[in-house]
Amino acid sequence: MAIGYPNGKKNNDLKPSKKQQTITTYGKRGMTLEDDINDSNLFYLTNNRAVLHKKPTPVQIVRVDYPKRSNAMIKEAYFKQPSTTDYNGVYKGKYLDFEAKETKSSTSFPLNNFHSHQMNHMAQVVTQGGIAFVILAFPTLEKVYLTMFNDLFPFWERMASGGRKSVKVAEIEAVSDQIPYGLNPRLDFLSILDKQIF
């Protein structure tokens, strides 16, 4: 007995389209460093381990269109001031402030990924007794490192005095701890801080 389908073809006459044949699901493959940190911060927050958030970038809105009352659309905006670092919050009674950067290079980390105002900001945080660090990701190596600001700053000074404009992976490994990938949290960078500071 043949079963009729809406298009008039039998089931064995139907072939998947090219689009259907090439669909592949990879889950969360290709997540960015920011996604990984945001997921980790959410895990820390929901489990009462820390309160860490991504800082909003200060923006000055200049022109908004209102095609409908419920559909306001920003048409023109400018950054009010240079942003400081990506994240801040509190862990074990200490203020944390950190920047997250990634590079496609597998041999070194370019220091031009940082800006002088970010370095100045982290230096001020440390001076006031806060904890400042950077999370550096090398997706091609599948490695992520936590580097304390005081360990990164000498490389910045070296560049400022005419030296290398990047930090070799071996140099980063010598002054940093690798953050292992996990499930919950995705990047357990607080365990690194526990080992280094707490």
Instruction: Note the pLDDT tens digit of each residue in 81-110.
Output: 677 999 999 999 999 999 999 999 999 999
CA distance 21 to 11: 17
Would you give the DSSP letter of residue 48?
A: T
Per-residue pLDDT, 31? 61
Instruction: Note the pLDDT tens digit of each residue in 113-147.
Output: 999 999 999 999 999 999 999 999 999 999 999 99
Per-residue pLDDT, 18? 47
Residue 111: CB atoms within 10 A of its CB come to: 19
pTM score, whole prediction:
0.78
Instruction: Note the pLDDT tens digit of each residue in 14-55.
Output: 454 444 444 333 334 446 999 999 999 999 999 999 999 999
* 3-class DSSP assignment, residue 71: coil
CA distance 21 to 81: 49
Could you give all domains of the chain from N- to C-terminal order, each with its CATH number?
Answer: 29-56+82-196 (3.40.1350.10)
Per-residue pLDDT, 22? 41
